[in-house]
Amino acid sequence: MIYFDHAATSWPKPPGVVEAMIASMTEAGANPGRSGHRMSVAAGRLVYEAREALATLVGADDALRIVFGLNVTEALNLALRGLLHPGDHVITSAMEHNAVMRPLRALERQGVALTVVPCSPEGALDPADVEAAITERTRLIVINHASNVVGTLQPLAPIGRLARDHGLLFLVDAAQTAGAYPIDVHAMHIDLLAFTGHKALGGPMGTGGLWVGERVDTRTMEPLKRGGTGSLSEHEEQPGFLPDRYESGTANTPGIAGLGAAVRWVLAQGVDAIRAHEVALTRRLLAGLLAIPGVTVYGPQDAERQTATVSVNIDGIEPSEAALWLDDEYEIMCRSGLHCSPAAHRTIGTFPRGTVRLSMGVHNTAEEVDTVLDAIGRLASRRS
């Protein structure tokens, strides 16, 4: 089997992830932060160690500013719904996932003004167009670091700099890049970084979170939910300090333990080395696809300007049929359709048909790329 669906979730997980999850349940199975006994303390230590690993990965100074949640979608909702109010203006791009677009459309109905800045057919965003969209009411810019459809990398540092220059907050959706591309929240002028655990970070599903930078006024950023935190239990009001303000309820300790082990593995490999490996795979895949008659490749078509995600279509064959054939005949796992990103597909000209998405990860090999290219070549030769 060849797994080319890493943009959806990574597989296999790094060594030690499953073991860390089992150990958290067998050796530290108590509720973290809720009691003073040794098992509760041990569970709390697992959670804190995961925060520390993530803070190191993204260049953050304070691990307590890492807020855990279920996934990047929850993290984005926390930031968007916590910060934006009727009368505010927010800017985003035409390449966003529905994890951004759906909350923004809901907020738009509630009186938040929204500007969706167009991108090129390759999915690239021009910072000058972002700056031109800023108004006196603008409070926030939210951009995905890389498209989940075509992998296009956006210029975060210039956008973050102009956000600073205009006194705005900058929220980044790093679902496709955390763990696969070097991120430095300070160098990139990021104020809020939303991440998911189960993609390139290598952790289990049901893990993710939000890094909340120092420029964010957490007194006015409302929580998504309120409840028990194990802290200030004598009060019926939500704590005001991080991470407790945004972490009500019992944490997914086994998942977070697995995520911590995965992030430590990523740090040990080195994100630069992971990125170099994926660039080499992407370059090989692009070169082969572009040489196959009848295959259309979308996005930058440049391994340096994108993640290891490539979308294609084959003349005369529907994306769903192509993906099914690759699975049935070659055991190649990929994803067809709109990938929860209709705005991105409109931008690249593939709505409503969608594409076949081939997304690679750290464990894929050049030999697997060659097998995929051979399969797509055979399929394209059968087109009507």
* Closest of 305, 285, 296 to residue 374, by C-alpha: 285
CB hemisphere CA count around 120 (13 angstroms): 12
Q: Is 340 tagged catalytic? A: yes
Structure-token pair, residue 331 = 């055991």
- Give the CA dihedral 279, 318, 290, 308, nearest 10 degrees: 0
| Backbone region of residue 349 per phi and psi (left: phi > 0; alpha: psi in -120 to 50; beta: other values) | left
Q: Could you tell me if 286 and 126 are in contact, meaning their C-beta atoms sit under 8 angstroms apart?
A: no
* Closest of 276, 343, 335, 331 to residue 310, by C-alpha: 335
Contacts of 282 (CB under 8 A, 6+ apart): 151, 303, 306, 307, 308, 310, 360
Q: Report, in angstroms and rounded to the nearest whole number, the Rg of the chain calculated over CA atoms.
A: 21
Chain centroid, CA 285 distance in Å: 22
The one-letter amino acid at 258:
G
* Active-site hit among 114, 205, 279, 340: 340
* Closest of 61, 7, 4 to residue 180, by C-alpha: 7
**Interatomic CA distance for residues 187 and 141, integer angstroms:** 17
Q: Please list the active-site residues.
A: 340
